Amino acid sequence: MVNGYNIFWTDHALNELSNTIEYLEENWTKKDLKNFAIKLDNALKLISTNPYIFQNSELIGIRRAVVAKHNSLYYRLNNETIEILSFFSHRQNTSKRKL
């Protein structure tokens, strides 16, 4: 695709992102939040234009993009759409990760 794939966030991933942002707003500076937003935007642009750029996860057909030191996006290519399945915080136990 010339302009990249469309990105669709699942409700689960949006909920995780919302929880992460809430935590960051309470514990990080505005400058840190801005840098985090830039990293997230850059990761989404890379995924949109080249969904195979990031490594496969342990689950077949699902890839993992490390957005920041403590956060990863899990996604899959679904026809002409990138489906964001999870925005996982590494501060959590991996048993809480749901894909």
Domain positions in the chain are 6-91
Q: The domain at 6-91 falls in which architecture?
A: 2-Layer Sandwich (3.30)
Residue 30 has pLDDT above 80, yes or no: yes
List strands edge to edge, sheet with 63-68: 6-9, 81-89, 71-78, 63-68
Residue 59's CB: how many other CB atoms inside 10 A?
12
Distance, C-alpha 60 to centroid of its chain: 17
Quick: pLDDT tens for 59-85.
Answer: 889 999 999 888 999 999 998 899 999
Band (88; pLDDT cuts 50, 70, 90)? confident
Residue 90 binned pLDDT confidence (cut-offs 50, 70, 90)? low
Kindly indicate the confidence band of residue 58, based on its pLDDT and cuts at 50, 70 and 90.
Answer: confident
Can you give the chain as a three-state secondary structure string?
A: CCCCCEEEECHHHHHHHHHHHHHHHHHCCHHHHHHHHHHHHHHHHHHHHCCCCCCECCCCCCEEEEEECCEEEEEEEECCEEEEEEEEECCCCHHHCCC
Where residue 97 falls among pLDDT bands split at 50, 70, 90? very low
